[in-house]
């Protein structure tokens, strides 16, 4: 079955909606895919999602400090396959990645290590405001969009289905880039979608969608995007990796100190060099409610990663268990030192 049956109507409405909603338009592209020739910048890949918000803050804070050494440059990607390819080939040395995808890549002998979390919570399952959906049993046979079968959003959806005695076979799964999801729901091309912010907030603020479930309520220790680096960077420039982790962790703690800092982060992330989004949409995520996405707890807990691994095996995205030590390097989090975030 074609995942988007009402194609002409959907395409027209999508174009109209995206023109008027900057958060969904996201003119994405890869600004740079390597360290600069002067070797004074480490390019770090990321998606324009609030689960990656610590990265723009870390980049600006490092530049504002004016210290010598290697700085950080954000490189915006349109989707996980593109970041995956860049990390696999070594075009970039660091990126925010999906945790299960890193697990899978290490089983294929790709030399990667997770060195820090990027956030907690931040995923939502959205339905139309005018729908009567209150439980997942009402979505049986309906079409639900997910970003990727490697996305932890998909595992969140599976957990919610299981609570009501359902499986993914009871619904129709459609893989779709998150920026397309609000428009698809608006055009009734899907009945629900599960993704990270701000793509839930974009539709909610516009008034035509509401959260059916949020990780903040259902899976408080949810982790998805993790800071991942190639092992050769760890071997050749461990001080750069440590500095990056220091800044990311400091950015997370700073973000959770209150709305004054979050408002500063909104203005940073909305800029053209970062997410290039409507600041009102990012602000909506930060405020409704304030713990919709959290950043202060960057602990890498083995049991939590093992839960993700087991859920991924059950989902079929991993074929066998992966040892925690094979894809995580805790050294840099354990040795992290406070960094002042002055932006």
Alpha-helical segments (H) within the chain: 7-20, 22-25, 54-65, 80-89, 99-107, 152-163, 181-186, 199-206, 215-218, 231-236, 238-255, 259-269, 279-287, 302-315, 324-327, 331-334
- Rounded Cα distance between 126 and 144, Å, is 9
Confidence of residue 68 (pLDDT cuts 50, 70, 90): confident
For domain 41-120+224-334, the CATH architecture is 3-Layer(aba) Sandwich (3.40)
Computed over its alpha carbons, how large is the radius of gyration of the chain? 19
Enumerate residues 6+ apart whose C-beta is below 8 A from 119.
Answer: 50, 51, 52, 53, 54, 223, 224, 225, 252, 293, 294, 295
Joined tokens for residue 5: 């049956």
Res 313 pLDDT > 70? yes
Res 343 pLDDT > 80? yes
Q: Are 41 and 72 in contact (CB under 8 A)?
A: yes
User: What is the per-residue pLDDT across 224-281, written as a single tens digit (0 to 9) for each?
Assistant: 999 999 999 999 999 999 999 999 999 999 999 999 999 999 999 999 999 999 999 9
pLDDT at 100: 95
Q: Evaluate if pTM is beyond 0.75.
A: yes
Joined tokens for residue 210: 């509401």
Q: Do domains 7-14+121-218 and 41-120+224-334 have the same CATH topology?
A: yes
Q: Which residue has the higher pLDDT, 1 or 180?
A: 180
Enumerate residues 6+ apart whose C-beta is below 8 A from 316.
Answer: 149
- Rounded Cα distance between 253 and 305, Å, is 21
Please name the residue that has the structure tokens 């932006």.
Answer: 343
pLDDT > 90 fraction of the chain, expressed in percent and rounded: 82
Joined tokens for residue 232: 């050769």
Res 35 pLDDT > 60? no
Domain boundaries, the chain: 7-14+121-218, 41-120+224-334
Please tell me the number of Cα atoms within 13 Å of 305 on its side-chain side.
28
Q: Check if CATH label 3.40.50.1820 holds for domain 7-14+121-218.
A: no
pLDDT at 25: 34
Least confident of 34-38, 157-161, 323-327: 34-38
Positive/negative CA dihedral, 233, 234, 237, 240: positive
Res 21 pLDDT > 50? no
pLDDT at 67: 75
- Rounded Cα distance between 291 and 271, Å, is 23
Q: Which residue has the higher pLDDT, 320 or 38?
A: 320
User: What is the per-residue pLDDT across 112-123, written as a single tens digit (0 to 9) for each?
Assistant: 999 999 999 999
Residues across the chain: 343
């Amino acid at each position: 079955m074609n995942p988007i049956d009402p194609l002409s109507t959907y395409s027209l409405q999508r174009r109209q909606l995206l023109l008027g909603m900057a958060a969904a338009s996201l003119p994405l592209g890869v600004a740079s895919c390597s360290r600069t020739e002067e070797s004074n910048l480490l390019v770090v890949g990321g998606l324009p999602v609030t689960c990656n918000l610590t990265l723009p803050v870390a980049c600006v804070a490092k530049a504002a400090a004016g210290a010598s050494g290697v700085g950080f440059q954000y490189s915006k990607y349109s989707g996980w396959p593109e970041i995956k390819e860049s990390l696999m080939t070594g075009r970039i040395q660091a990126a925010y990645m999906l945790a299960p995808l890193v697990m899978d890549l290490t089983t294929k002998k790709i030399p990667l290590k997770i060195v820090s979390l990027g956030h907690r919570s931040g995923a939502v399952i959205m339905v139309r405001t005018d729908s009567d959906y209150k439980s997942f049993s009402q979505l049986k046979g309906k079409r639900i969009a997910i970003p990727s079968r490697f996305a932890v959003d998909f595992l969140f959806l599976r957990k919610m289905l299981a609570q009501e005695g359902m499986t993914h076979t009871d619904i129709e799964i459609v893989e779709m880039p998150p920026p397309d999801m609000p428009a698809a729901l608006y055009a009734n091309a899907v009945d629900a979608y599960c993704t990270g912010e701000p793509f839930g907030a974009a539709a909610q603020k516009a008034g035509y969608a509401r959260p059916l479930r949020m990780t903040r309520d259902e899976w408080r220790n949810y982790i998805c995007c993790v800071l991942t680096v190639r092992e050769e960077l760890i071997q050749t420039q461990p001080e750069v990796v440590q500095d990056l982790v220091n800044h990311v962790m400091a950015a997370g703690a700073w973000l959770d100190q209150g709305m004054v800092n979050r408002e500063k982060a909104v203005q940073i992330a909305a800029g053209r060099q970062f997410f290039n989004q409507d600041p009102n949409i990012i602000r909506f995520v930060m405020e409704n409610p304030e713990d919709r996405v959290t950043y202060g707890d960057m602990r890498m807990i083995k049991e939590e990663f093992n839960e993700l691994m087991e859920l991924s095996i059950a989902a079929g995205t991993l074929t066998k268990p992966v040892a925690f030590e094979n894809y995580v390097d805790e050294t840099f989090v354990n040795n992290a030192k406070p960094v002042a975030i002055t932006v």
